[in-house]
Structure 1
Amino acid sequence: MSKRVRSREVCADCSAPEPRWASVNRGVLICDECCSIHRGLGRHSSQVRHLTHCPWPPSQIQMVQTLYGNGANSIWEHSLLDPSSSVSGKRKANPQDRVHPNKTEFIKAKYQMLVYVHRMPCREDDSVTAKDLSKQLHSSVRTGNLETCLRLLSLGAQANFFHPEKGNTPLHIAAKAGQMLQAELLAVYGADPGALDSSGKTPIDYARQAGHQELAERLVEIQYELTDRLTFYLCGRRPDHRNGQHFIIPQMADSKYVCYCVSLDLSEFAKAAKKKLQSLSNHQFEELAMDVYDEVDRRETDAVWLATQNHSTLVTDTTVVPFLPVNPEYSSTRNQGRQKLARFSANEFATLVIDILTDAKRRQWGNSCDSPKDSRHNSESQDNDQPDYDSVASDEDPVLEATCGDSCNDGRTKSSESSDLSDGPITVQEFMEVKSALTASEAKIQQLLKVNCHLSEELRSMQSKVQMFCSLQLNSLQTENTTLRWQAPSGPQHLQGPFGRHPPRGGRAMSMYETGSSPRQYPHRGETARHEDGVILQPFPTNVSTEAPMILIFLFLSIRSSPLPASEAVEPGEEGGEDATLPCTEDVICKTEQITKNIQELLRAAQETKHESFLPCSEKICMAVTEMAALFPKRPSSETVRGSLCLLTSSASRLHGECQKAIEHNPCPSDIQLVTQQVIQCAYDIAKAAKQLVTVTTKENNN
């Protein structure tokens, strides 16, 4: 079914026209404003996806459109259809209502508390009711009536219910009947495609035996949904399940994509963390994998949200979901751990995802070489108490991996094994390909080393020139200040002197490094400027190379951090230690607005697919970020300020690097989409850091 939004469609929550988002598990379409609330509910309440900017399996979007067209929204608003509901004060939200609190309260009551859902008559034993509902679901999935099954699921029917008399689950019945959309609905509510019936057959086996090959292939995709989603997040590719390729480990399968998104962390700390990951029990590992899956969904949805919205309020709390919302079914410890995933940088998070993919493959090969189960669906069929690593081949041990590949080669062809270097023994051809790639990489490294050596020499040359200039400038200022001290008249009536205020530091000459945290105005190349005290500042040398502006910035910062001459040494705590002073709020807000304006321009270019505009926009953002960072002390005493400044500058640097990738080579559409997602993520990090600096500065200055 076409993903184009039809004009007759309206938002299920407020009736606004032309909704652009869908709630997959609720079977409804929603507008942008209502979607902003759904995203804050969490995936356990509403799984949102953009109709045109997100990848959809054809049968899944057909399932959502069918539910919406057949009145699935009446399930969630059952009591509102009762004429007496208006008397009791209940009413549906409308497009003119404010997002907060009107629409927010209505949507939370509708989907979180299920206030308007039809309730079954109370019984003494609720488990009997759930069992009866599950049996009805077991019978209903053989038909095409999706809304009936959704109603049963909303009332508490279990998608993985094992019928004691029939000896199978609802998904077995839907697969045997060839009900593709019913299978999609059951999978959304957690049905396991790898569940076994009383004869040891899976729903995939049922579909194949009944001749429903397309449904069987879709069930295999659902079985590997978790690992496929993580792989696609990293490299924009999915395994070829039809040919027996069930895993792609990015650092082994395609180094071209890895250089786009991640430089693997090989520190001792990362290695220790990987060992700890491997020691988790199956149950703990599945929980972690599902939490990382939810975090991937949050990050990708945020990227789509930033690319499709009006960014006039970019630095506000309502634009993004900062971390995973609390799931009341999880413990407080697990919820805290889920929220900490948002603090991972892109590099750290990608490293974690690759480790999970690698370990998932190890565990599933160890459990069943013929038909590995996806960790998101097989929690009931595995032993969740004991880790099974002793007999599992390590990805770093080619001998053990080859042994496992030979013993698990039942029915698999050589072509399917060679389609992924991580799925079988290494052939001679693959070894030669890897060797050639290593040779090319070594040549590239040598070339980079030569370039680095050349840049280092140029850096030292420029540093010596700038240090010479600063030394002359310091001597000039020292002589000038000494003269001013001797010429200053004595007496209270002359205390203001040539500075316009009381002499700083008890009459001692003020060093050029003791200007506090106010913004400095530096002369342009070839110009002459005057200090506030009337001292003429010499222009910057005109023979300094202009080919590396970022190197000049680095030089300037390194000079500021170099030791001062003895005559100009500052007092302890003024420059060498931590500085508690912060710039005025107005200056920070002004720079934040400048950064926001440049980010809006970048996001408009991303939305209009003007990739050639990425680099100019990123240069403006980097310049604005540099100016904002210069407002703050070199070593702020506030840990929050230090962290925000670090996030601000590092994100700006990453943004510039990602924007360069968009124009260096002519990447394919999937590559450009990945680069665009990274650009949007970096822009979001910059905006978040700028907002934090505004908040902290405002709070401290008000105190």
Structure 2
Amino acid sequence: MSKRLRNTEVCADCSVPEPRWASVNRGVLICDECCSVHRSLGRHSSQVRHLTHTPWPPTQLQMVQTLYNNGANSIWEHSLLDPASVMSGKRKAMSCVDIYFIRAKYHMLAFVHRMPCREDDSSTAKDLNKQLHSSVRTGNLETCLRLLSLGAQANFFHPEKGNTPLHVAAKAGQVSQAELLTVYGADPGAPDSNGKTPIDYAREAGHHDLADRLVEIQYELTDRLAFYLCGRKPDHKSGQHFIVPQMADSSLDLSELAKAAKKKLQSLSNHLFEELAMDVYDEVDRRETDAVWLATQNHSTLVTEKTVVPFLPVNPEYSSTRNQGRQKLARFNAHEFATLVIDILSDAKRRQQGNSVTSPKDNVELILKSVAIRHCSDSQDNDQPDYDSVASDEDTDQELPSRKGDRTKSLDSDVSDGPITMQEYLDVKNALSVSEAKIQQLMKANNNLSDELRLMQKKASKLEKQSSAPESDYDNTFNDSEMDNSGLCRRGRLRSSGWLGEGNSIPELDDLETESDPTLPSTEDVIRKTEQITKNIQELLRAAQENKHDSFIPCSERIHVAVTEMAALFPKKPRSETVGSSLRLLTSSAYRLQSECRKVVPSDGCPGPDMQLVTQQVIQCAYDIAKAAKQLVTITTKENTN
């Protein structure tokens, strides 16, 4: 979609006129040079699109333009607008690209407004979520973007209202709010407490264009993959939700390697298939943006190395194994990558319909005329590649030796995880808080059902006594897997978009290969100890931010005590190796944290420590502790509900 730029528009980062790119999730316009830095950050930090050379959904472009015109940039530069920032040395880059400024602004969120510290972080998160839930009924986009920047969750399920912010925006006909929420991950197919989706809300309120747009967003992933190969998208209004192209030179006589690869893809759990599909989506975005970048540059000047994004940047929320697999996608040539995309589209359609695997001729709606399409000129007639399933973000580096060795051999590492920044740790902590809130919501919902179950058990007990059967034969444990959690889990979006058939099992439970471990502590106890660890880590990070290095040692000791108390909840020799590895990461990181914090006290006759390096190592240890605590919360939740 073409767009006429106004003379008043300038790059949000360096202030040069006539920016030609936009960051969709940040709501700003940027120039070519700053865009190259945005791309190197990864889509988790900034999602870039060209204003005129990239196809735009009109309502999404309008959303970005509205945010830009209403000062969205001030959200990301909040502290720079404070006159005191000049005295503190903070400044905004002007008329030149400042890589470090852009990275700090969007990746570390160094200049956003910080909420005042409160003892109860869960209450703060709940307040933000409820404010977002209320604000989306209005057209004030920048307010909602500010709340999202502070940590409000786009998929927040309001316990009293029984729905999400997207339900509210859809009912009110707030198209731009719906676009913003879905950019931040809101699920158009998430059911409310009555089983109605935001799409249903929009249709019932007469907002049919918005309802049609929400359906498009629901199938955004598979639509984007199909468009990449054949330049067309399905006609969702007519009930066509998938286009599965076919290789023009493909043969029914697939090689054994190709058959093995296809079988391996089909055998993935829904959870891992979703992750692989999302990674391929990101790679498609990288390749398409590369093509637009090369087509729009002034080739009379040298394109510098900093403009090149040779593979997907590291996402700190993912495991190192998954990041390695994502980077490996860049090595696929045009033929190999097209084959992988087609296989994913075909299997996504199969999983939606619950059909068995069909032959390559079946359900083909378009034919890919040429492998060497506009995105890549390199074409080879190689066999279809064998690709490995990527690890979930719940996997750890402390896997079983045999598993870790196998993955190391099959996945090449181009870039290792970089040093963990303070903001990256805080992102993990925020995600953990959200996870805990969801668990608590499920537990509250479980209470009423548990009461009903106990009444049924009492009646059953009377019958058992009459037949001389012991009462203990009845299991008085309620299984959360039997409860509809109203789309609160990650699988919500896949199920609502039709990827998971009604008869399919739950991916999170599919991944459990063993029976539940009765020796594990209760979820409530683990969450309680995790909250204590998190509060102590927050205190340590505040000390790091304020350069109060004298506080490092007492903070680390409090963290060590909290970690020891949490570890004591678990058996010394847990049945699950995953539990054991998470406990080892938790305790070893706490010991390492103490060791690093002691370095702030210089030894006699030795030069003073490099405080910047010490602080970085302290943050890394804190990140590892939080990561291990999150793993243990996840594991115990799964085990106790199995």
1:264 shift after superposition = 9.6
User: What residue is the counterpart of 1:61 in the other structure?
Assistant: 61
CA contact (8 A) 2:2 2:51 kept: no
Provide the C-alpha distance between the structure 2 equivalents of 1:318 and 1:11, rounded to a whole number of angstroms. Answer: 18
Residue 355 in 1 paired to residue 350 in 2?
no
Matched residue SS, 2:241:
coil
Provide the C-alpha distance between the structure 1 equivalents of 2:153 and 2:30, rounded to a whole number of angstroms. Answer: 26
Letter in structure 1 aligned against 2:339 = T
CA contact (8 A) 1:22 1:49 kept: yes
Give CA deviations for 1:148-191 in whole Å, capped at 9, x if unaligned. Answer: 00000000000000000000000000000000000000000000
Q: Which of 376, 380, 389 is equivalent to 1:678?
A: 376
Residue 152 in 1 paired to residue 147 in 2?
yes
Give CA deviations for 1:433-470 in whole Å, capped at 9, x if unaligned. Answer: x9xx9xxx9xxxxxxxxxxxxxxxxxxxxxxxxxxxxx
| Gaps in structure 1 of 5+ consecutive residues | 252-257, 367-391, 402-420, 424-433, 442-653, 659-674, 683-703
Provide the C-alpha distance between the structure 2 equivalents of 1:5 and 1:264, rounded to a whole number of angstroms. Answer: 51
1:311 shift after superposition = 3.1
1:305 shift after superposition = 0.4
Provide the C-alpha distance between the structure 1 equivalents of 2:131 and 2:251, rounded to a whole number of angstroms. Answer: 51
CA contact (8 A) 2:27 2:68 kept: yes
1:5 shift after superposition = 1.7
Letter in structure 1 aligned against 2:376 = Q
User: What residue is the counterpart of 1:323 in the other structure?
Assistant: 311
Provide the C-alpha distance between the structure 1 equivalents of 2:258 and 2:357, rounded to a whole number of angstroms. Answer: 17
User: What residue is the counterpart of 1:580 in the other structure?
Assistant: none
Provide the C-alpha distance between the structure 2 equivalents of 1:76 and 1:176, rounded to a whole number of angstroms. Answer: 30
Percent sequence identity over aligned pairs: 80
Letter in structure 2 aligned against 1:84 = A
CA contact (8 A) 1:263 1:347 kept: no
User: What residue is the counterpart of 1:304 in the other structure?
Assistant: 292
Q: TM-score if structure 1 supplies the norm length?
A: 0.52
Give CA deviations for 1:601-659 in whole Å, capped at 9, x if unaligned. Answer: xxxxxxxxxxxxxxxxxxxxxxxxxxxxxxxxxxxxxxxxxxxxxxxxxxxxx9xx96x
1:270 shift after superposition = 1.6
1:7 shift after superposition = 1.6
Give CA deviations for 1:185-225 in whole Å, capped at 9, x if unaligned. Answer: 00000000110001111100000000000000000000000
Letter in structure 2 aligned against 1:202 = T
Number of residue pairs the alignment of both structures matches: 378
User: What residue is the counterpart of 2:114 in the other structure?
Assistant: 119
| Gaps in structure 2 of 5+ consecutive residues | 380-642
Q: Which of 349, 359, 384 is equivalent to 1:396?
A: 359
User: What residue is the counterpart of 1:623 in the other structure?
Assistant: none
1:56 shift after superposition = 0.1
Matched residue SS, 1:29:
strand
Q: Which of 211, 218, 229 is equivalent to 2:224?
A: 229
CA contact (8 A) 1:3 1:61 kept: no
| Alpha carbons of structure 1 residues 268 and 151: separation in structure 2 relative to 1, 3 Å | same
CA contact (8 A) 1:160 1:170 kept: yes
User: What residue is the counterpart of 1:245 in the other structure?
Assistant: 240
CA contact (8 A) 2:2 2:52 kept: no
User: What residue is the counterpart of 1:40 in the other structure?
Assistant: 40
User: What residue is the counterpart of 2:274 in the other structure?
Assistant: 286
Q: Which of 168, 171, 174 is equivalent to 2:166?
A: 171
User: What residue is the counterpart of 1:485 in the other structure?
Assistant: none
1:393 shift after superposition = 2.6
User: What residue is the counterpart of 2:459 in the other structure?
Assistant: none
| Alpha carbons of structure 1 residues 211 and 86: separation in structure 2 relative to 1, 3 Å | same
1:341 shift after superposition = 0.4
Letter in structure 1 aligned against 2:352 = Q
| Alpha carbons of structure 1 residues 315 and 182: separation in structure 2 relative to 1, 3 Å | closer
1:363 shift after superposition = 1.1
Provide the C-alpha distance between the structure 2 equivalents of 1:352 and 1:5, rounded to a whole number of angstroms. Answer: 38
Aligned counterparts, 1:251-650, within 5 A: 251=246, 258-259=247-248, 266-311=254-299, 316-366=304-354, 392-396=355-359, 421=363
Letter in structure 2 aligned against 1:340 = K
Letter in structure 2 aligned against 1:52 = T
1:318 shift after superposition = 2.1
Matched residue SS, 1:115:
coil
Give CA deviations for 1:308-366 in whole Å, capped at 9, x if unaligned. Answer: 11335667522320000000010000000000000001100000000100111111222
CA contact (8 A) 2:76 2:106 kept: yes
1:49 shift after superposition = 0.4
User: What residue is the counterpart of 2:13 in the other structure?
Assistant: 13
Give CA deviations for 1:400-454 in whole Å, capped at 9, x if unaligned. Answer: x9xxxxxxxxxxxxxxxxxxx459xxxxxxxxxx9xx9xxx9xxxxxxxxxxxxx
Letter in structure 2 aligned against 1:76 = W
1:3 shift after superposition = 1.8
Matched residue SS, 1:22:
strand
Provide the C-alpha distance between the structure 1 equivalents of 2:245 and 2:308, rounded to a whole number of angstroms. Answer: 28
User: What residue is the counterpart of 1:589 in the other structure?
Assistant: none
| Alpha carbons of structure 1 residues 314 and 145: separation in structure 2 relative to 1, 3 Å | same
Residue 215 in 1 paired to residue 210 in 2?
yes
CA contact (8 A) 1:193 1:222 kept: yes
Matched residue SS, 2:243:
coil
Letter in structure 1 aligned against 2:158 = H
Provide the C-alpha distance between the structure 1 equivalents of 2:328 and 2:38, rounded to a whole number of angstroms. Answer: 21
Larger radius of gyration: 1
Provide the C-alpha distance between the structure 1 equivalents of 2:299 and 2:132, rounded to a whole number of angstroms. Answer: 44
Give CA deviations for 1:375-417 in whole Å, capped at 9, x if unaligned. Answer: xxxxxxxxxxxxxxxxx3322299xx9xxxxxxxxxxxxxxxx
User: What residue is the counterpart of 2:93 in the other structure?
Assistant: 93
User: What residue is the counterpart of 2:29 in the other structure?
Assistant: 29
Provide the C-alpha distance between the structure 2 equivalents of 1:348 and 1:676, rounded to a whole number of angstroms. Answer: 15
Matched residue SS, 1:164:
coil
| Alpha carbons of structure 1 residues 315 and 91: separation in structure 2 relative to 1, 3 Å | closer
| Alpha carbons of structure 1 residues 313 and 279: separation in structure 2 relative to 1, 3 Å | farther
1:273 shift after superposition = 1.0
